[in-house]
Structure 1
């Protein structure tokens, strides 16, 4: 099941307004409906969002965390602000051209100094609630998370992985390289050759040929002359 987190992250009650204007947005109700339909099957969450309402983002994050099936997160553009919280909700990968941004919660108010002091207190507590998602994902301390937010930190794909906010950079796989470097051909290649009815070679000759090809491939790899 594919779940898109695209555009602004908004509360469910405002979604019809964005739909009426034809503006892409994501609300908790949309995500929850898709998770209900998925009914425990794997879900793939694709994120390209500059963020939005922190409480809507928190609800989506919580729904993904408690979903009974596997949640695969794919950051394909930008995961900023509340969207960066959602990106911490499951096993994740990021496109090498994508970015992650974390910053402090912001809001507006008017009134006397007591009202402003209260607003500051609420915003600081909101920062700590957001930081909890980064702490749970990375194991960093609360101070490290809050410092990162204070600086409005923009991260490239690799930097996001280095920070532990994202698990891997997409499209980078060393599976075949590791297989050849271990001296073994992939199992599916072996089975295909052994079971091929059209193979004109006898089983012993096929084994010799495979061994020779593997050795040649290893030699090229050691010399830096082959790419897999």
Structure 2
């Protein structure tokens, strides 16, 4: 059985070069999809989430995968909790948690743009709720309410509610848990600055020039 890990921030493939270069913990869709070769897989999830579209891409690929998918959850928040729902078997660390909540974004514009953004977010909530509903068998209305309340779910509760199939270590299940902390999604402005820093390093800028640039970075 092949073993994979989803940890750190869930990002899109286009941002991977910056996260890789600066060794920021992350998972992009291609990190998982490129490893799907037909074998049964076990994926350890330890992530507070990230980009919705990237999470949905991973979830969809795993749901369509012909091999058996076992997902072991240490922490699965936001987009990572959606990915966890793709497991044929979902197992939770006894100290682990799932977190589901409403989709959020940033927007600028007039009141029409704000109204439109609100509707887009509501539709995204309903779309993601389908993944939770498919796994749990709970009603759509229940799940939407839990998302609206930002619900944190323990291992025992996850099994009771249908988000997970078993709690690890209680039935001789075994796993090597991977420690991880959440990392923020970098803004496009910060991404551009980091790409410039990467280019400066490659062009052998002086240490003084490099430090001056670093001082301008805001995460």
TM over 0.5: yes
Q: Give the counterpart of 2:85 among 74, 82, 88.
A: 88
**May I ask how many residue pairs the two structures share in their alignment?**
171
Hey, what does 1:63 align to over in structure 2? Answer: 61
Q: CA deviation at 1:142?
A: 1.0
In 2, Cα distance between equivalents of 1:113 and 1:64: 39
| Between structures 1 and 2, the one with greater helix share | 1
**CA offset digits 1:64-120 (Å, max 9, x no partner):** 0111110000002x1000000011001110010111000000001111111100000
Measured after TM superposition, the shift of residue 161 of structure 1 is: 1.1
- Name structure 1 gaps, 5 residues minimum: 176-228
Please state which structure has a larger fraction of its residues in strand.
2
| Local SS of the residue matching 1:7 | strand
Deviation of 1:174 (Å): 7.9
Name the CA distance, whole Å, in 2 between partners of 1:109 and 1:99: 30
Report the Cα distance in structure 2 between the residues aligned to 1:125 and 1:59, rounded to whole angstroms. Answer: 17
Which whole-Å CA distance do the structure 1 matches of 2:153 and 2:168 have between them? 15
Deviation at 1:3, TM superposition (A): 1.4
For structure 2, list consecutive stretches of 5 or more residues without a partner in the other structure. Answer: 174-219
Q: Which has the higher contact order (CA 8 A, sep 6+)?
A: 2
Q: Does 1:162 align with 2:163?
A: no
Q: Which residue of 1 aligns with 2:34?
A: 33
* Residue of 167, 171, 189 corresponding to 2:169: 171
Partner SS for 1:75:
strand
- TM-score when scaled to structure 1? 0.73
Partners of 1:21 and 1:172 in 2: how far apart?
39
